[in-house]
Amino acid sequence: MKKLLMVMLSAVMISAIFLAGCGGSNSSGSGESGAAEGNEGSGEKRTLRVSIGVNDKHPEYEASMKFKELVEAETDDLTVEVYHSGQIADDRSAIEMLQFGTLDITIPSTSPLVNFLPEYGVFDLPFTIPNEEVADQVLDGEFGTKMLEMVDSQGLVGLAWWENGFRNLTNDVRPVGSMKDVEGLKIRTMENEIHLDAWKALGANPTPMAFTELFTAMQQGTIDGQENPYPTILLSNYPEVQEHISNTNHVYTPFIFLFSKSIWEELSADQQDIISKAAVEAGQFNRERTREVADESLEELKTQMTFTEVPEEEFAKFQEAVQPVIEKHKESIGADIVDEYLSAIESAK
């Protein structure tokens, strides 16, 4: 009798494990490929995975969770999972996963996109967008719409503009208040030729690196410094590995909300509408939170790092030094799109 019970119990356990496995593979399957459910627009249940590079203290994570809340409040057939700190992939790899249909959403800086679309280099031209108000008008206007539509050719759907912010230099060697101080610093840049050329023109010794490798590189001293917006500098704990910070404000970087085109085309019209609206609404939330946090972050960073204010006359030298870089990349980006970008900025001022 006892033996019979044991056999029955084992059979129950084996079938339970099998069913759980099926359930797991089904949910991770839909998350993994985004296409496993073969949803021909029927609105079947689907899990959307979002990959971002910053950690769960950053306003971009808050906004990603806002996106999740908005989508899940509107429908029972979509679930959103947010993966922060580059758990799934860094910006560039995540973009490639969207192109292959193995990831649904990523919200990277625009800079890695230049490896797929040179036109996106406009956003890396130093000292062009002067403040957030101009950034909003350029991105929410005709030019920004054109740039979002442009990603379609790369197997991507551009749904909204979020905000990374104005980039500022940190380093662990010396205070930087002038071009002279930049001389020879090993600065990490994003994987983007324009950033590399700009820091070379300023006298630095730049090296491209994925965001996910940055903290370790600073910790190990393989680079002297990096440049990112204040929230990222504070919330990624850079004061632990960087002594100096300067208000260079040299580039405004947008975050772009990207969806995999192959997966997008499997969604129902209702699902697409819900996702589009949520991406835009969460983007507004992201901009507000990022600006609040940026102000708070700078004040906090001044207590944890040595802050150097760059004098106006030095900014003029920085801007003069990078002019040849802008001229050189006007060709690689495309002269027409650069002119459109610069006139959109002038109109917004």
- Where along the sequence are the contacts to ligand TK8 (CB under 6 A)? 52-54, 91, 108-109, 164, 190, 211, 228, 232, 253
Q: Which is nearer to ligand TK8, 108 or 225 (CB)?
A: 108
Residues 322, 54: Cα–Cα separation, whole Å = 28
Q: How far is the CB of 96 from ligand TK8 (least distance, A)?
A: 14
Task: Tokens for 287, please give them.
Answer: 């901009």
Residues 96, 281: Cα–Cα separation, whole Å = 26
Q: How far is the CB of 304 from ligand TK8 (least distance, A)?
A: 19
Q: Which is nearer to ligand TK8, 47 or 232 (CB)?
A: 232
Q: How far is the CB of 253 from ligand TK8 (least distance, A)?
A: 6
Residues 115, 126: Cα–Cα separation, whole Å = 18
Q: Which residue is nearest to ligand TK8 (CB)?
A: 53
Q: How far is the CB of 52 from ligand TK8 (least distance, A)?
A: 6
Q: Which is nearer to ligand TK8, 215 or 315 (CB)?
A: 215
Q: How far is the CB of 189 from ligand TK8 (least distance, A)?
A: 8
Which of 127, 114, 119 shows the shortest CA–CA distance to 321?
127
Q: Which is nearer to ligand TK8, 39 or 232 (CB)?
A: 232
Report residue 343 CA to chain centroid gap. 25
Q: How far is the CB of 116 from ligand TK8 (least distance, A)?
A: 15
Q: How far is the CB of 165 from ligand TK8 (least distance, A)?
A: 9
Q: Which is nearer to ligand TK8, 194 or 267 (CB)?
A: 194
φ/ψ (deg, to 5) at 157: -120, 120
Q: Which is nearer to ligand TK8, 52 or 345 (CB)?
A: 52
Q: Which is nearer to ligand TK8, 124 or 266 (CB)?
A: 124
